[in-house]
Structure 1
């Protein structure tokens, strides 16, 4: 049953959080309940479905996807009902730890298989990638499927999120090269903060692995795109099947460390374009200007403050 028109006047606040890196979305709705409806005949059941679209009248809305009620909280006086929800795709099956072996498959193929298992549509830059190494065998041991996929993604320079029935699975360089969806200027913000750090930023990586064919310890070096302020080298020892896997893992781990050289937190007027995985152009902060990839977006609608969006982002180009 669609009760949007019935509850719109009762809504005190809506908080929606969208994240990259395999994390699920979150939703909280705060409702005024002076009529005692939400603690009476309208009291929802845990597990009930909630769908959310947000935005401005007459403009395209942001489809936040489907959620299930996970927690209810009643405070007062005055009476306020808080409904906290988790993404609907996080089913009991998806929360179950599994053990499974994938043979002669690439990372994108594995992602496609996991997406299909839960009825999600895989969205990726392409079906084939130079970085999509093929594993003779990779084993998921007592892990939830998305935890396993997150580990593979981080080790091989991929990022993903699940939103509105889609598993969006991209190589980090592909995400970082997409044109900015919007420009944010200093004058169009409520508050901001930037961080530029040198600790754990590296000049390059040395990756050592045991070659199963030659029975030798092999070391490969990968340079960073830009020199580090410290001149440090990231040293890694891990298991690989071949040189290609070692190269991709070294590049991925080096990128994982160096990609947070400059990060930003920006809050401003509500903007439906600001979602995890989109790039934005920040302008008006001098040396800190550039293109930034949104890793977390928090959309907040409240009677007192209106619609605002806060993002956490990292710079991908100056």
Structure 2
């Protein structure tokens, strides 16, 4: 808690995983001949938490927790294998990122419903494809995978949808499943925020990270969005406001102008 005067403000900061358990104790540990799900279950059991979420069946021959806190170790695994991780109460949520955004939107918004809105569609630093190579030391063979970026706005033509760059990565990885997961993670890291932005609106407690919203009547920016982060603020002058950071999950044309773009070139 922080107090400041003139004007008088109280700022509360919190850790999502709390401080009552030893989530942040530095630990060295090696895991061998196991799977991603088994590692998550083992860490959750040690922390006395219940695992929630859909974890892909990814075999892992060896991974080491290098004097890392449990939350740091699981966060690293989540990034490497295209999963999402957080601790909520007595639950350890670890789920494949493809499962995010499957829920129904908690709000439907257009320009009239917001205080301010800023959306962007970038081409710079995106990738048209990702190529990853790893080496299986036991089998003495190279394992590789290539994945092309999918077009988000399938129903309209654009003069340019992404850069022409191919991201090439050489990494460790003993199984094809590991390389496949790392390919998904690398492409998502490069392209997921291609259509994204920030919205400020009157306070809504339903707008929390992980939920989805629907934006309407916004042309090429209409569609379903995932809430990445949320900031709720209460001010004596402006009242209760919510600021959200979002990224597009699905483009949904919903106005005559956008629907008429199928035969034209539309780059916002």
Query: 1:205: how far off?
Result: 1.1
Distance 1:273 1:218, change over 3 A: same
Match of 1:315 in 2: 248
Query: 1:156: how far off?
Result: 0.9
Distance 1:115 1:271, change over 3 A: farther
TM-score, with length taken from structure 1 = 0.69
Match of 2:155 in 1: none
Matches within 5 A, 1:29-108: 72-76=1-5, 82-87=11-16, 89-91=18-20, 93-108=22-37
Q: Determine which of 75, 97, 102 is the counterpart of 1:172.
A: 97
Find the aligned partners of 1:189 and 1:278 in 2 and give their Cα distance: 18
Query: 1:262: how far off?
Result: 0.6
Match of 2:53 in 1: 124
Find the aligned partners of 1:79 and 1:176 in 2 and give their Cα distance: 39
Match of 2:140 in 1: 215
Return 5+ residue gaps in structure 2 as ranges.
Answer: 153-160, 252-268
Please state if 1:265 is matched with 2:194. Answer: no
Question: 3-state DSSP class of the match of 2:15?
Answer: strand
Please state if 1:237 is matched with 2:162. Answer: no
Find the aligned partners of 2:10 and 2:116 in 1 and give their Cα distance: 29
Which structure features the higher share of strand residues? Answer: 1
Match of 1:55 in 2: none
Return 5+ residue gaps in structure 1 as ranges.
Answer: 1-71
Distance 1:162 1:284, change over 3 A: farther
Deviations 1:151-190, CA, capped at 9 Å, x for gaps = 1111111112223333222211111333322212211101
Please state if 1:152 is matched with 2:81. Answer: no
Find the aligned partners of 2:212 and 2:23 in 1 and give their Cα distance: 29
Please state if 1:162 is matched with 2:115. Answer: no
| Conserved? CA contact 2:60–2:175, under 8 Å | no
TM-score, with length taken from structure 2 = 0.81
Find the aligned partners of 1:293 and 1:174 in 2 and give their Cα distance: 11
| Conserved? CA contact 1:94–1:146, under 8 Å | yes
Distance 1:179 1:92, change over 3 A: closer
Question: 3-state DSSP class of the match of 1:136?
Answer: strand
